Structure 1
């Protein structure tokens, strides 16, 4: 349940920033940013804090190579789905949602990886030791 919750928050973070609907920060900021500058800055900073938390944890747990590896695995999975006719990439909105899913999956795995590694190996990271 822990991984699912972390992934859902990552998905919400990426989707809130941009998605193919009109309900996202990027489109809202472009349309209303000048009239509501203080709210735009506040919302942008909240999103930035979320990204810093997720990216810092992801880079510390799996590193840049791990992020690239997970994206490559998701890309290969999508390639297989496309080759077997299970996925049609002509739909731009679907392609954007797939990208959001892939990025959120990387962030969710990155935030959860230290916990998974500790449960599998029984070893705690140096940063995880409680006093």
Structure 2
């Protein structure tokens, strides 16, 4: 599984939870909680499982400091894009999508980092010994 696939799954997880369209879990639950409570709870638990998998793997591989560092790097890239006029931050919908992409990069890199470290150093993480 490549980085792009891991990043794409992270993006889908975040966008399914919330995005600026009406097609997201938060909006759907707000409108249908009383009539479809059981389905809302099931979908919420599935999203929670996805977040636990991604956050646990990210925290184990790069930690909080690494998450902050990746987020700072993405922020610096966005800052450069804004300074050069490539990015206009006046549109709140665009800003939400940019935030989703930035957070999904943090989770995608966190999930992929053990594979990158093993490829670069030749050393396995303790959790990877069984492979």
TM-score tier by shorter-chain length is over 0.9
2:63 maps to what in 1? 63
What are the within-5 Å matches in structure 2 for residues 89-108 of structure 1?
Answer: 89-108=89-108
Deviation, 1:33, is 1.1
The answer to whether the aligner puts 1:76 opposite 2:76 as a matched pair is yes
CA shift digits 1:55-86 (9 cap, x unpaired): 00000000000000000000011011111110
Q: RMSD value over aligned CA atoms?
A: 0.9
- Written as runs of structure 1 = structure 2, the 5 A alignment for 1:1-131 is 2-130=2-130
Question: Aligned equivalents of 1:46 and 1:128: distance in 2?
Answer: 26
The Cα shift of 1:127 comes to 1.1
Unpaired segments ≥5 residues, structure 1 = none
The TM-score with structure 2 as length reference comes to: 0.98
Return the alpha-carbon distance in structure 2 between the equivalents of residues 6 and 76 of structure 1.
Answer: 23
Question: Quick one: distance in 2 between partners of 1:121 and 1:105?
Answer: 22
Pairwise CA distance, 1:13: 0.1
Q: Hey, what's the Cα distance between the residues in 2 that align with 1:34 and 1:78?
A: 40
